[in-house]
Amino acid sequence: MEVLIIVLLVVLALLIFPNIRIVPQAQEYVIEFLGKYRTTWSAGIHVKIPILERVAKRITLKEQVMDSPPQAVITKDNVTMQIDTVVFFRIYDAKLYAYGAVNPISALENLTATTLRNLVGELELDGTLTSRDTINGKMAEILDEATDQWGIKVSRVELKNIIPPAEIQNAMEKQMKAERDRRETLLQAEGHKAASITRAEGEKQAMILAAEGERDARIARAEGEARAIYLSKKAEADGLRALREAGADAAVLELKKYEALIKMADGKAAKIIVPTDAVNATKANVLFSETTGLGDVTVAAPEEPVPEKVDPCCD
């Protein structure tokens, strides 16, 4: 009896232990029961029914990268170029991936190639070279929608290389060289223009400053002359006021007026007409001054004392 129990335990162990499965993280197992889909195992430990159940497919849920080989693509302007793409995708439904297509990866690769040809065939060469982001976005949208029935989620598509024919490359290089030469010439012309404008502005500013300096100098000279004339006239007025305060008669004042007229003539050929009564008054004043000594301010120098002679005989 004990032997029978031991045999049964051994048989159970041989049947159970080989059917224990541990599913790693980020993986799923598709389980079939008698050839029909039964369930999907996620990460963890599972036990299948011997003989009746089997693991149909082991699927990873990590994001995968499909690097497609270069494809010959013809543009709208009949230029043939080589383009290779990189597709980033992941499997989100193990059942659809297992039963949606015979070979989903090969189907995705062919779908990528045909979609790329369709999109590039609508563009010209220059548009293809400058519209990578547009092509990437449209391809990702088309591939993601088409692969939903296969349990695949396309997250991103990138054009890896765009290789035009050799003659097109040479023409593009020549075009780029001509464009660089044009930019260089344009920059040099703009530099010369800016230098000429700066030079002209500098000369203009110098002329303005010189004119302002000359104006300020003329104003200063005019103000100086006006100040000198003012002070001269003020001095004459002060002199006349002093004569008037000293009791000078009208004839003296008239004489001062004619002296001022003579100064105004400034040595130039000019005639000054003096009335006779003024001349007579002047002569009378001069005669009166000489007779009476009035106005003679000259003081005679004192005589030096004569030393007395000493008679030596009287000492």
What mean pLDDT, rounded, does the chain reach? Answer: 79
- pLDDT tens digits along 112-131: 999 999 998 888 888 888 88
Sign of the CA dihedral 44, 47, 53, 55? positive
Q: What is the pLDDT of residues 187-204, one digit of tens each?
A: 989 888 888 898 898 888
Which H or E run includes 46?
Answer: strand 44-47
Q: What is the pLDDT of residue 314?
A: 46
Dihedral sign computed on CA atoms, order 92, 96, 101, 102: positive
pLDDT at 275: 56
Query: Domain residues of the chain, as ranges?
Result: 2-60, 64-164, 168-232
CB 157 within 8 A of CB 88: yes
| pLDDT surpassing 50 at residue 313 | no
pLDDT, position 80: 87
Please give the model's pTM, rounded to 2 decimal places.
0.54
Main-chain phi, psi angles of 64, to 5 degrees: -120, 160
Span 270-285, pLDDT tens digits = 555 555 555 555 555 4
Who contacts 140 (Cβ-Cβ below 8 Å, separation ≥6)? 154, 155, 156, 157
Say yes or no: domain 64-164 is CATH 3.90.79.10: no
CA atoms within 13 A on the CB side of 216: 6
pLDDT at 91: 93
* CA separation for the pair 14, 50 (Å, rounded): 10
Q: What is the largest CA-CA distance in the chain?
A: 202
**Does the pLDDT at position 139 exceed 70?**
yes
| 225-245 pLDDT, tens digit each | 888 888 888 887 777 677 667
